[in-house]
Structure 1
Amino acid sequence: MSSSPRGSPRVLVVDDEDDLRDLLEITLLKMGLDVDGAADLARARALLAAHDYDLVLTDMRLPDGLGLELVREIGAAGRNLPVAVVTAFGSAENAVVALKAGAFDYVTKPVQLDQLRLMVQSALKLAAPAGPAAPRAEPVDSRLKGQSAAMQALRAQIARLARSMAPIAITGESGSGKELAAREIHAQGARADKPFIAVNCGAIPEALMEAEFFGYRKGAFTGAADERDGFFQAANGGTLMLDEVADLPLAMQVKLLRAIQERRVRKIGATAEEPVDVRIVSATHQDLARCVEQGRFRQDLFYRLNVIELSLPPLRDRLDDLPVLIDAILVRLSAAGGQPAVLGPGVLDALRGYSFPGNVRELENILERALAFSNDGVIDAADLALKGAKRVEAPAAAVPALSAAASAAVPAAPAPLPDAALSMPAGAQAGERSGERMPPLPDLSVLPSNLPAYLERVEREILLRALAQTQYNRTQAAQLLGISFRQLRYQMQKLGIQEPEG
């Protein structure tokens, strides 16, 4: 066979069926590629030793062995060479095995030439000269922040996964960044210039799922005034992320399995299927294997989606990344709020002592809430309001020293309120200053008939006592109660507490 012009990408086709090998070679030559053919593993190995290739396309079953041997040998040699396999129709298990072994992608017999061309184009975008694979540097604009060992290993794994079309199942706790990881895989892969569509499977009503995933024809049902594409068509050529995939009902799991295996979908109301080319990335915080055991998730779909598993570390296992994450979050919050946001003394130590059950998403929420309570954009440890965390005092060195004159004018810091103060008559502490007589707190052994009014009364009582003990110095009262000045001011306004005149 004639070959295309010198310098074109070169492809090796390995298949013992002469007719199929000729068909593949002709198709690739028409795409402007150089093509070599081999009928068995021995000839393929000889050609691989003699030439540099940009893609290998091999059948699964060959006279002297399996195409999987070729996949593993090329992977073990560390060559940046995509390998795609040709599997028999309906042999989904073989395709999964090949992808797990390191194959770039697969096509099924009878070969659909349009799908073959799409696969070859994707593979050639990733092709590189043969040789040892150089480690990929972290992208400057990486979505996954942090330099801990866990994050460096995660980014290295993502760089490898981006070179494959194998389905990926991302696991991790809520808020750990599963969608960010999926977007990073997409951005580093051959489909980066194509759509990335993220779908929350738990947010779609069951009755609308088929229409949302596969689309519908005009008039297919009441209200279908126009033809509409589904998620698969919208992601065609790119990546479809199925977030919270464990929430899919069983009936939809069957239809999704067929669409993934056959790479074809049928719109509601249509009579023919249409090909789609999407890479599937799924994510869930649930244990899919346990869902299979419980009968809530199909085992065949589990094996189809879980070809490669990518596990994200929780934030509590990479607390060294906190400074980087906090800086990135504060930059975003500062841009949105129009004022700079910085951490005060002791804040980082307080955050390091917290377990972050909600991971990075919770960190973002904590900082956003703390910024709202902060003074002039300076977040104090008390602004964090961390539940179950040890209170961290600001280091004394961080407090600027006062002159002798200024020190004399500032009252000494108040001592904490004793427990007995919560039950003693209020007049002894605050009556003279506030001018209002405050009754003692209600007996806690008696259940209140109006809980909101009871809690408001308790909160008002405590605030008044703290203010009276500090002679209405609100800064010291806030320190006494372990809250920020802004929080104290907000509570005083809410409860209508006014500072007495004079």
Structure 2
Amino acid sequence: MPRILIVDDDPGQRSLLNSFLQSQGFETVLADSGERALEALRTGRFDMMISDVRMPGMSGLDTLRAARKEHATLPVLLVTAFTDVRDAVAAMRDGAVNYLAKPIDLEELLASVQQATGVSQSVPLKYADDKQLPEYVIARSPLMQAVFREASLIAPSDTRVLITGESGVGKEVVADVIHAWSTRAKGPLVKVNCAAIPETLLESELFGHEKGAFTGAHAQRIGRFEEASEGTIFLDEIAEMSPQLQAKLLRVTQNGTFQRVGSNRELRTGARILTATNRNLEELVKAGKFREDLFYRLNVVELNIPPLRERREDILPLASHFIAELAKGRARFSEAVTECLQRYPWPGNVRELRNAMERAVLLSRSELILPEHLPSRVRELAGQAPAPANGDARQLEEIERQAILQALRQHNYNRTETAKALGISRRALIYKLQRFRKMGFEIDPV
């Protein structure tokens, strides 16, 4: 069994790498600094070292160089949140076998580790096979099944997760599942919507306040981070947080400490942090509206939830689930309604679908849901988007394949950059590539 030394000052990152690599059959040893990593190398045998680049004291590059003096053939993989081309060039020059940027792609990480340790790369990614989705979670599409498979890998660790996706796709549901599958499941899951609470009150909501800290503070209040100390805190709409609060949250991610409003006493929380946003945080960082250091602290792992239009296999099961819940199982869809639901693009995603089903139940006077019970926009837009005839389907597939192939070539077959250029999620791109291969299309570089 290959033995891997993991070096990172961030407990969440160490936890992720540790739990993931152990789940894939590797033995791991942890070090929270370059100095301790060198001590471990002097006393133990390792087949590989994985190190963060930016650490206090000895950096990852310094650790790499020092390790090379005593262990010239040790494969070293460097990981960083700060994509610096000069660091990457220096790392490869000094002998690193690869250089990965955060958020970490687990498939890419596994491939690098397998290659460096001599493990056959034909060994597939292993997922937890004992994880069952709650009954209220519908995931029939390959895209959502992939989301929850990845969630099963990261749930056991304490790493921070950024959940992204359009409004209404179900980011909170994914947070629920991560907590339920984690070692903290018996602890509380505390949820805070950063956009729903006025900026002047959000600090008190998160960190608490002392009596008399401000007008109306008639008693001491415990904040949400204290409540979640043995569990998980989910911060929704994190992009709406003010710069002042971003600085305070950064401190929590660094050492788990904070202060109540009106107090200088330092408190500590052990809460795992999950965050979500429907905005592009990278663009907000570039615009100076979101702290770069906080972005990288929160975005150790990113789970992107695809929009409903990209996972159409989920539409009817979700609609049926909502109808059964709202009508207590006494309603069913007409064929025309089924067609409308499948053709409509659902820009509001799962939330819009649920609202449409609630409206249909209220308007229907029988057990049969008819088109007139649906919102007019659903009927109108669905009517403008007829399903392609069988003879046209292959032609449409070929047009899509050519567009994807062209984008792949333009971005040197980098799937992440290609997905961004096409305006779809990386997971959606991978699913499309797999589907094209099964259909017999050529999609890989020659």
TM-score of the aligned structures, taking structure 1 as reference length: 0.54
Counterpart AA for 1:344: S
The letter of the residue matching 1:390 is A
Q: In 1, are the aligned partners of 2:5 and 2:46 still within 8 Å (CA)?
A: no
Distance 1:203 1:305 in 2: 20
Matches within 5 A, 1:128-277: 133=126, 135-137=128-130, 139-141=132-134, 143-277=136-270
Higher mean alpha-carbon deviation, 261-270 vs 220-229, is at 220-229
CA RMSD of aligned residues (A): 3.9
The aligned amino acid for 1:179 is E
Change (3 A) 1:90 1:167: farther
Counterpart mapping for 1:42-53 below 5 A = none
Partner of 1:330: 323
Equivalent-residue separation in structure 2 for 1:307 and 1:70 (angstroms): 28
Residue of 353, 357, 368 corresponding to 1:363: 353
Is the partner of 1:365 in helix, strand or coil? Answer: helix
Confirm or deny: 8 A CA contact 1:344 1:380 kept in the other structure: yes
Distance 1:263 1:70 in 2: 33
CA contact (8 A) 2:237 2:275 kept: yes
| C-alpha distance 100-322 of structure 1, shift in aligned 2 (>3 A) | closer
Change (3 A) 1:101 1:321: closer
User: In structure 2, how many angstroms separate the alpha carbons of the residues matched to 1:269 and 1:354?
Assistant: 52
Encode CA deviations 1:272-314: one digit per residue, 9 max, x unaligned: 2111011111111111111111121111111111111110011
For the Cα contact (< 8 Å) 1:96–1:304, is it kept in 2? no
For the residues of structure 1 that align with 2:223 and 2:137, how far apart are their CA atoms?
A: 29
Structure 1 contact 143–180 (Cα < 8 Å) conserved: no
Matching residue of 2:334? 344
Q: CA deviation at 1:247?
A: 0.7
Q: 1:198 to 1:15 in 2, by over 3 A?
A: closer
| Aligned partners of 2:233 and 2:274 also within 8 Å | yes
Return the alpha-carbon distance in structure 2 between the equivalents of residues 141 and 221 of structure 1: 43
Per-residue CA distance 1:371-393 (angstroms, 9 max, x = gap): 1111213101221134142349x
In the alignment, structure 2 segments of 5+ residues that lack a partner are: 8-21, 62-77, 82-99, 107-124, 385-446
After superposition, the Cα gap between the structure-2 partners of 1:102 and 1:165, relative to the gap in structure 1 and judged at 3 Å, is farther
| 3-state SS, counterpart of residue 242 of structure 1 | strand
Cα displacement (A) at 1:271? 2.5
Question: How many pairs align?
Answer: 307
The answer to whether the aligner puts 1:376 opposite 2:351 as a matched pair is no
Amino acid at match of 1:345: E
Deviation of 1:319 (Å)? 1.0
Please list every run of at least 4 consecutive aligned residues from structure 1 whose deviation after the TM superposition is greater than 4 angstroms. Answer: 12-16, 64-67, 69-75, 87-103
2:170 and 2:360 map into 1 onto residues whose CA distance is: 22
Using the alignment, how far apart are the partners of 1:90 and 1:209 within structure 2? 37
Letter in 2 for 1:234: E
1:207-257 Cα deviation digits (max 9, x unpaired): 122211111122323322221111111111211111111111111111111
CA contact (8 A) 1:217 1:224 kept: yes
Counterpart in the other structure of 2:38: 63
**Could you say if the C-alpha distance between residues 137 and 386 of structure 1 is closer, same or farther in structure 2, counting changes exceeding 3 Å?**
farther
Deviation, structure 1 residue 134? 5.5
Structure 2 residue matching 1:376: 3-state secondary structure: coil
Checking the alignment, whether the CA contact within 8 Å between 1:71 and 1:102 is kept in structure 2 is no
Structure 1 counterpart of 2:438: none
Instruction: Report the Cα distance in structure 2 between the residues aligned to 1:100 and 1:90, rounded to whole angstroms.
Output: 22
- Check 1:72–1:14 CA distance in 2 against 1; reply closer, same or farther (3 A cut): closer
Give the 3 Å change call, closer, same or farther, for CA 58–344 of structure 1 in structure 2: same
- Work out the CA distance in 2 between the residues paired with 1:205 and 1:147: 38
Residue type of the alignment partner of 2:382: K
Cα distance in structure 2, aligned partners of 1:371 and 1:101: 44
Which runs of no fewer than 5 residues in structure 1 stay unpaired?
A: 1-11, 17-47, 76-82, 104-131, 393-502
Q: What does residue range 352-431 of structure 1 map to in structure 2 within 5 Å? A: 352-387=342-377, 388-391=380-383
State the one-letter code of the partner of 2:38. P
8 Å CA contact 2:332, 2:369 repeated in 1: yes
Cα deviations by residue, 1:130-156 (Å, 9 ceiling, x for unpaired): xx9564255152543122110111111
Q: CA deviation at 1:324?
A: 1.6
- SS class of match (1:389): helix
Counterpart CA distance in 2 for 1:207 and 1:66 is 50
Specify whether residues 70 and 197 from structure 1 end up closer, same or farther in structure 2 by C-alpha distance, changes over 3 A only: farther
1:290 to 278, 283, 292: 283
CA contact (8 A) 1:163 1:190 kept: yes
| Change in CA separation of 1:272 and 1:369 when aligned onto 2, cut-off 3 Å | same
Output the CA distance in 1 between the equivalents of 2:341 and 2:162.
30
Q: Is the 8 A contact 1:240 1:279 kept in 2?
A: yes
Equivalent residues of 2:207, 2:225 under 8 A apart? yes
Question: CA 1:215–1:169 in 2, change beyond 3 Å: closer, same or farther?
Answer: same
Structure number, greater radius of gyration: 1
Identical residues among aligned pairs (%): 36
Report the alpha carbon displacement of residue 176 of structure 1 after superposing the two structures with TM.
0.2
The whole-number CA distance in structure 2 between the counterparts of 1:208 and 1:325 is 36
CA contact (8 A) 1:167 1:280 kept: yes
Measure, in 2, the Cα distance between the counterparts of 1:298 and 1:261.
14
Deviation at 1:100, TM superposition (A): 5.7
One-letter amino acid of the counterpart of residue 214, structure 1: F
- Could you tell me whether the CA contact under 8 Å between 1:195 and 1:237 is conserved in 2? yes
Of structures 1 and 2, the one scoring higher in RCO (CA 8 A, sep 6+) is 2
